[in-house]
């Protein structure tokens, strides 16, 4: 029997259980091998499982490794917020009041600790590249019949994970979008994790933007309930494209994700000194120990 290690399962980007994106967190992961971490991530069968380790960088409050059932990621958004939530709930005291510093595969990621319990991470830098002209017919096959906003070039945004960010004509177009899984799998062979589509809501809507993030897994089409990295990439793209909607969205905006899956993820994006911070609530639904 393995050692008893503190374990939580957290629902991220929601204050209501079972409406966000679940994450498994092993809080005492020092001493675990790569193989053990991968085996546990495979066993939880969640999109990600995180393992909290002693930091190597003196500026960090903790180090985290992020595993899917199949591989390790250098960074992912909802695991960043969910891990920080789990650690604060378990009693971690930040070295600097109001801020946690996470060490992960992309370096140090600061996390703001809000008075209301919401957390927000500063989006890592992203490289942005337009989808090559010869691959644009492939995008049309990925999103058959979908009205893409002609004023905003689809961009591949890479921050450890690479999302093809595509702006659609409206939030309803985002909700109605059909995705061809076979074409999307072909697109991922170009080094893209998946496609992140978004569209603006009318004034008075549930959020400023509707977001969906889709990818393929073992040949099948998968939609993510709420995706921190995809929203971080969208935030970087919006800034790079000059905030097509103008007004308040140049400083802060809200997004909803997961409606097509009967989820209700809520993301708050704020720009501080030009840098996007991706925030939201988290809630713990399982709290105990795991023997590994």
Same domain, 116 and 131: no
Alpha carbons within 13 angstroms on the beta-carbon side of residue 291 total 3
Do residues 274 and 236 touch, judged by C-beta distance below 8 A?
no
Per-residue b/e over 71-104, b at no fewer than 16 CB within 10 Å? eebebbbbbbbbbbbbbbbeeeebeeeeebbbbb
Q: Are residues 131 and 118 in the same domain?
A: no
- Grouping H, G, I as helix, E, B as strand and the rest as coil, residue 237 is helix
DSSP code of residue 135: G
Identify whether residues 95 and 138 lie together within a single domain.
Answer: no
Instruction: Note whether 94 and 162 are same-domain residues.
Output: no
* Co-location of 135 and 255 in the same domain: yes
Q: Is residue 179 part of a domain?
A: yes
Q: Quote the CA–CA distance of 88 and 106 in Å, as a whole number.
A: 22
Q: Are residues 221 and 140 in the same domain?
A: yes
Span 7-56, pLDDT tens digits: 999 999 999 999 999 999 999 999 999 999 999 999 999 999 999 999 99
Give the burial class of 288: count Cβ atoms within 10 A of its Cβ; 0-12 exposed, 13-18 middle, 19 or more buried.
Answer: exposed
> Which pLDDT does position 71 carry in this prediction?
94
d(CA 242, CA 65): 34
Stretches where the chain sits below pLDDT 70 are: 1, 247-250
3-state secondary structure of 44: helix
Q: 248 and 133 in one domain? A: yes
Instruction: Given the residues 48, 210, 248, 275, select the one marked as catalytic.
Output: 48
Q: What gap in Å lies between CA 204 and CA 277, rounded to an integer?
A: 23
Q: Is residue 266 part of a domain?
A: no
Q: Considering the domain boundaries, does residue 152 fall inside one?
A: yes
Q: Is 48 designated active site?
A: yes
Tokens of 63: 């180090």
CA atoms within 13 A on the CB side of 290: 21
Report if residue 268 sits inside a domain: no
The three state secondary structure string of 182-226 is HHHHHHHCCCCCEEEEEEECCCCCCCCEEEEEEEEECCEEEEECC
Instruction: Give how many domains the chain has, as a whole number.
Output: 2
pLDDT attached to residue 246? 75
- Structural domain includes residue 102: yes
119, 282 Cβ separation under 8 angstroms: yes
Q: 275 lies in a domain?
A: no
Q: Domain check: are 180 and 218 in the same one?
A: yes
Q: Which two tokens stand for residue 186?
A: 């072909």
Cα gap 9→119, rounded to integer Å: 17
| Host H or E run for residue 236 | helix 228-240
Would residue 189 count as lying in a domain? yes
**Residue 14's domain is classified under what CATH number?**
3.10.310.10
- The answer on 90 and 65 residing in a single domain is yes
- Compute the distance between CA of residue 31 and CA of residue 270 in angstroms, rounded to an integer: 37
Predicted TM-score (pTM) of the model is 0.94
State the Cα–Cα distance between residues 214 and 196, nearest whole angstrom: 7
At residue 115, the pLDDT reads 87
Residues 82, 54 share a domain: yes
Range of the domain at 26: 4-122+280-291
Asked whether residue 270 is assigned to any structural domain, the reply reads no
At 224-258, the pLDDT tens digits run: 999 999 999 999 999 999 998 876 666 899 999 99
Kindly state whether residues 256 and 192 are assigned to the same domain: yes
pLDDT of residue 2: 85
**What pLDDT is attached to residue 138?**
97
Contact assessment for residue 85 and residue 79, using Cβ atoms and an 8 Å cutoff: no
Residues 166 and 60 in one domain: no
- Residue 285: count of CB within 10 angstroms of its CB: 12
């Amino acid at each position: 029997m393995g050692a008893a290690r503190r374990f939580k399962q957290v629902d991220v980007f929601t204050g209501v259980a079972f409406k966000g994106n679940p994450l498994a967190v092993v809080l005492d992961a020092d001493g675990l091998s790569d193989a053990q971490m991968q085996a546990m991530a495979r066993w939880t069968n969640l999109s990600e499982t995180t393992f909290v380790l002693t930091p190597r960088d003196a500026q960090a409050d903790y180090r985290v490794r992020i595993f899917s059932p199949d591989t390790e990621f250098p960074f992912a958004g909802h695991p960043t917020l969910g891990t920080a939530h789990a650690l604060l709930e378990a009693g971690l005291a930040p070295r600097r009041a109001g801020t946690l510093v996470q060490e992960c595969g992309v370096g140090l990621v600061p996390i703001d600790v809000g008075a209301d319990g919401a957390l927000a991470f500063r989006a890592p830098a992203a490289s942005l590249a337009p989808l090559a002209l010869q691959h644009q017919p492939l995008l049309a096959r990925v999103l058959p019949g979908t009205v893409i906003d002609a004023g905003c070039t689809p961009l591949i945004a890479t921050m450890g994970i690479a999302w093809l960010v595509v702006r659609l004509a409206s939030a309803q177009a985002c909700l109605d979008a059909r995705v061809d899984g076979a074409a999307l799998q072909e697109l991922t062979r170009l080094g893209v994790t998946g496609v992140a589509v978004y569209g603006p809501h009318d004034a008075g809507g549930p959020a400023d933007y509707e977001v969906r993030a889709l990818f393929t897994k073992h040949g099948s089409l998968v939609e993510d309930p709420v995706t921190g990295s995809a929203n971080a990439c969208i935030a970087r793209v919006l800034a790079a494209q000059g905030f097509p909607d103008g007004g308040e969205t140049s400083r802060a905006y809200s997004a909803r994700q997961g409606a097509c899956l009967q989820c209700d993820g809520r993301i708050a994006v704020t720009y501080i000194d030009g840098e996007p911070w991706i925030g939201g609530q988290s809630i713990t639904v399982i709290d105990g120990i795991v023997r590994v």
